[in-house]
Amino acid sequence: MALRPTAAISAAIAAVALISGCAGSRPDPAPAPAPAPAEGAPLETRPGNGAGYLPAFPGQTRAAGIRNGAAVDVHVVTQQLNMPWAVEPLPDGRYLVTERAGTLRLVSADGQQLLSVAGVPTVRSQGQAGLHDVALDPAFASNGMIYLSYTESQPGGYSETLARAKLLGDAAGARLENVQVIFRQLPVMDSERQLGSRIVFGNDGKLYFALGERGEAVAVGQSQDLRSHFGKVVRLNSDGSVPADNPYVGRSDASPEVWTLGHRNVQAFALDATTGKLWAIEHGPRGGDELNLLKAGANYGWPIISYGIDYSGTPIGAGITQRDGMEQPAYYWDPVIAPSGMIVYHGTLFPQWQGSILAGGLTGLKLVRLQMDGDRVVGEEWLLQDPPRRVRDVQQGPDGAIYVLAEAGEQSPLLRLTPRSGG
């Protein structure tokens, strides 16, 4: 029998949604009640913020709504997490979970035991800064290596940092051994906003690390500066060295780690393991959350082009949505969903979802499924809306189940989604 969060948990989730701002986006005003859209009509019925902004091609936003997708059972693995940020299912059925304040949890398969992993580096936790993503080395089964991203204090401010270590432990305890910093975001800045910080390994074995542009006026333009790590996705070897085939290697005006540029704040990032493609979703300001297909050396336009507007209500820059030499998003949302965590699903439990993108929504308070046809979105479905949940991360487990982290203060749940019994 599927378990549901208690009334207290549901209330806590709703409370956190009201009092917590998402990383890099602010909530749009609550919509007035509206009639339910007709079958196939877009699910979003609120007016967009970018008045007069038109999509570059059909289906780039507000795709057909899906209301008859797979029926889902929601099982609570545990509800004892404290503001979690990322989950990584382990091959043996356990889970690694990061908590933003700086704790790495090793959670038993049944959710009854939550160990605090010793040896985690010192983390700067303030605002959006803290312990962020966790990822397994592609050879984890043989080498036990994991990767952590976190905010680290530095002279003059702090930076987003990437470290690797060996995970050791059993039911009696767990620890990290031989912790090694392999990358630090530069320049150092005194800002805890818009840090990005998702880690993905590609089919090429390289490590891709998404970094935000720090949210300050003096930093925003650095998304277009190849010498800065702000607003970039960097590509590294697993030891932190730079691959020789990176697109900007050898240029005096560029950091050789840079893979793509022109991002605002990527907090949803995933590999399609079947095609090898890398997909990312970044926060827009008011409107303009973007789903992008990443390509080596490509420029995704921030802050020169955007489908959103500033929080003040004024246009971003010149108020344009297209420019030669800059990539168009495969899809965008206006108003925002405030994306955090995503997968491209290729499990066996939900065969009708093969190739779908599933992404969390922070202010959107839901799990969003995008039905894909090649590289185009052809349908959008909203899940986990009863009760609404501030979804922080989404992962696929070895069993094909979908694991979702929802934020609800000190009683945040890890959820396991499976097909509903009996269909």
Condensed to tens digits (0 to 9), the pLDDT of residues 183-219 reads: 999 999 999 999 999 999 999 999 999 999 999 999 9
Name the β-bridge partners of 106.
96, 115
**How many CB atoms are closer than 10 A to CB 334?**
25
Does 252 fall in a domain? Answer: no
- Token code pair at residue 341: 């965590």
Q: Which of 192, 214, 231 is the last residue of a domain?
A: 192
Residues 72 and 140 in one domain: no
Average pLDDT of the segment spanning 132-141 = 97
Name the β-bridge partners of 344.
357
Residues 73 and 90 in one domain: no
Mean pLDDT of the chain: 91
Residues 90 and 71 in one domain: no
pLDDT over threshold 80, residue 12: no
- For 286-327, the pLDDT digits (tens) are 999 999 999 999 999 999 999 999 999 999 999 999 999 999
Domain that holds residue 90: 84-192
Query: In terms of pLDDT, which residue wins out, 421 or 65?
Result: 65
Residues 140 and 77 in one domain: no
Residues 78 and 93 in one domain: no
pLDDT over threshold 90, residue 253: yes
pLDDT over threshold 80, residue 53: yes
Average pLDDT of the segment spanning 116-135 = 97
Greatest mean pLDDT among 28-32, 49-53, 305-309, 417-421 lies in 305-309
**pLDDT at site 194:** 96
Which are the contacts of 70, defined by CB distance < 8 A and separation ≥ 6? Answer: 350, 352, 353, 419, 420
Distance of alpha carbon 324 from alpha carbon 306, whole angstroms? 14
Does 37 fall in a domain? Answer: no
- Token code pair at residue 27: 């909530």
Dihedral over alpha carbons 149, 150, 152, 158 (to 10 degrees): 100
Which region among 63-77, 138-152, 290-304 has the lowest average model confidence (pLDDT)? 63-77
Which are the contacts of 160, defined by CB distance < 8 A and separation ≥ 6? Answer: 132, 149, 150, 151, 152, 184, 185, 195, 196, 197, 211, 212
6 pLDDT band (50/70/90 cuts)?
very low
Query: In terms of pLDDT, which residue wins out, 387 or 393?
Result: 393
Does 326 fall in a domain? Answer: no
Burial of 312 (0-12, 13-18, 19+ CB in 10 A): exposed
**CB burial string 19-34: b at 16+ within 10 A, e below:** ebebbbbebbeeeeee
User: Which is it for strands 289-293 and 278-282: parallel, antiparallel or unpaired?
Assistant: antiparallel
In percent, the amount of the chain with pLDDT more than 70 equals 90
Residues 79 and 157 in one domain: no
Greatest mean pLDDT among 19-28, 123-132, 166-175 lies in 123-132
Average pLDDT of the segment spanning 348-376 = 96
Q: Which of 192, 207, 224 is the last residue of a domain?
A: 192
User: How many separate helices (H) and strands (E) can be counted in the chain?
Assistant: 3, 24
Number of independent structural domains in the chain: 2
Name the β-bridge partners of 115.
106
Residues 74 and 104 in one domain: no
Does 219 fall in a domain? Answer: no
pLDDT over threshold 90, residue 38: no
Q: Which of 134, 161, 192 is the last residue of a domain?
A: 192
Distance of alpha carbon 314 from alpha carbon 135, whole angstroms? 38
Residues 92 and 180 in one domain: yes
Which are the contacts of 68, defined by CB distance < 8 A and separation ≥ 6? Answer: none
Distance of alpha carbon 98 from alpha carbon 351, whole angstroms? 30
The Cα-based distances of 400 to 91, 292, 361 in angstroms read 12, 25, 21
Dihedral over alpha carbons 47, 48, 49, 53 (to 10 degrees): -130
Closest among 33, 152, 83, 124 to 362, alpha carbons compared: 83
8 A C-beta contact, residue 288 and residue 336: yes
Does 9 fall in a domain? Answer: yes
**How many CB atoms are closer than 10 A to CB 37?**
14
39 pLDDT band (50/70/90 cuts)?
low
pLDDT over threshold 70, residue 13: no
